[in-house]
Amino acid sequence: MTAPAVTYLRADGPGGAWTEAAGPALRAGTSVVLYASAGSWSVPDGPGLRALLGREYERYRAAGHRPAARARFAASRRLVKHAAAAVLDVPADDLELARGPAGRPYLRGCDRLGLSLSHTGDLLVLALSLHGAIGADVEALGRSGCRALLAQRACTASELANLRVLPPPERGDAMLRLWTLKEAYTKALGVGTALPFHTFGFRVEGTAAVLHDDNGEPVRPGEWTFTTHRLGTGHVVSTASARPPGP
């Protein structure tokens, strides 16, 4: 199986090689995953941040009792706006991040640039696409992701069977891959955790994955593409990209 094209770019802070590479990669038809430390996008509270966040500034202020969450919120918005600005060739402060009623983010007036944000610890991930809806999720490898209860709740019978045949040391990371794929898919649909994870499943083959129904039957090929990739940072990032019907 050939893995769908995704370009992974380290994007620690504004400027740098990633700003030159992201736009051409997107226009060439691949999705782009930018990953960065939240610290590299940190921005102090003040007029600059207020201008950057626009209407989201109140949401930022509302998280005042959780400084780490507030800092990550600001950093993630800065990453989104600078990345979109680099792709669209516009000033970052002119872009406005909006949300649909179910929480799916979009750039107001620029919604053809599909985007999905994820974070774990200090790592931010932003997936971008110019060709369809996209979702992304990141987790740190080595997390004890294969707790039996979590697997029972989140996996289909077929996925559980596939996990059981793995050597025990490999099950945790395999479960994390499934989890991130499920998160990515539900984010691409804009439904988040409202869609129970045990109602669909994945079969992972290398860095690609195939969507299955809860009976283990593959869903029609060609509707979605899924990738799951180990970053050099010790994380796994998975993406879900919608493929529109063609002629």
Partner 1 sequence: MRTLAAPSPAQLMVHADLALRSALAAVAGTEPSRLGRAAAGAAYLDLWAGDRLLRADGGNHSAVARFLLPRLLMESVDTLSVLLGERAQRNTGPGAAYREHARWLHQAMWHPDHRARLDAVTARLGGPPTGEDRLARPLTSVRPAALPLDLHALLDALERERRAVVGACALAPERDSAGNWALADRYALLTAAAACLDGWRGAGRGRRITSDRDRLVAALSRIAIRLGLEPVGPDTELSGALFGEAVAHCRRPTAPARTAPARTAPVGARRLVGA
CB of 46 to partner 1, least distance (A): 21
Structure tokens at 1: 């199986």
CB of 197 to partner 1, least distance (A): 11
Q: Would you count residue 242 as binding partner 1 (CB under 8 A)?
A: yes
CB of 164 to partner 1, least distance (A): 21
Q: Which residue's CB is nearer to partner 1, number 217 or number 232? A: 217
Contact 209, 238 (CB under 8 A): yes
Q: Would you count residue 68 as binding partner 1 (CB under 8 A)?
A: no
Structure tokens at 104: 């799916």
Q: Which residue's CB is nearer to partner 1, number 17 or number 219? A: 219
Q: Would you count residue 140 as binding partner 1 (CB under 8 A)?
A: no
Q: Which residue's CB is nearer to partner 1, number 38 or number 84? A: 84
d(CA 20, CA 94): 20
- C-alpha distances (whole Å) from 150 to each of 23, 110, 230 are 38, 37, 22
- Pick the closest to residue 175 from 209, 144, 146 (CA basis): 146
Phi and psi, residue 163, nearest 5°: -70, -40
Query: 79-118 mask for partner 1 (x: CB under 8 A)?
Result: ------x--x-xx--xxx-xxxxx-x-x-xxxxx-x----
Q: Which range of residues in 18-26, 33-41, 176-184, 219-227 is near partner 1 by CB under 8 A? A: 219-227
Return the residue of 190, 209, 225, 240 that touches partner 1, per CB under 8 A.
190
Strand ranges (DSSP E) for the chain?
Answer: 6-10, 31-37, 97-99, 105-107, 114-120, 123-129, 134-140, 200-205, 208-213, 224-230, 235-242
Question: Which amino acid is residue 33, in one-letter code?
Answer: V
d(CA 6, CA 131): 12
Question: Which amino acid is residue 85, in one-letter code?
Answer: A
In the complex, the residues that contact partner 1 under the rule CB under 8 A are: 55-56, 85, 88, 90-91, 94-96, 98-102, 104, 106, 108-112, 114, 130-133, 189-191, 194-196, 199-200, 211-214, 217, 219-220, 223, 242, 244-247
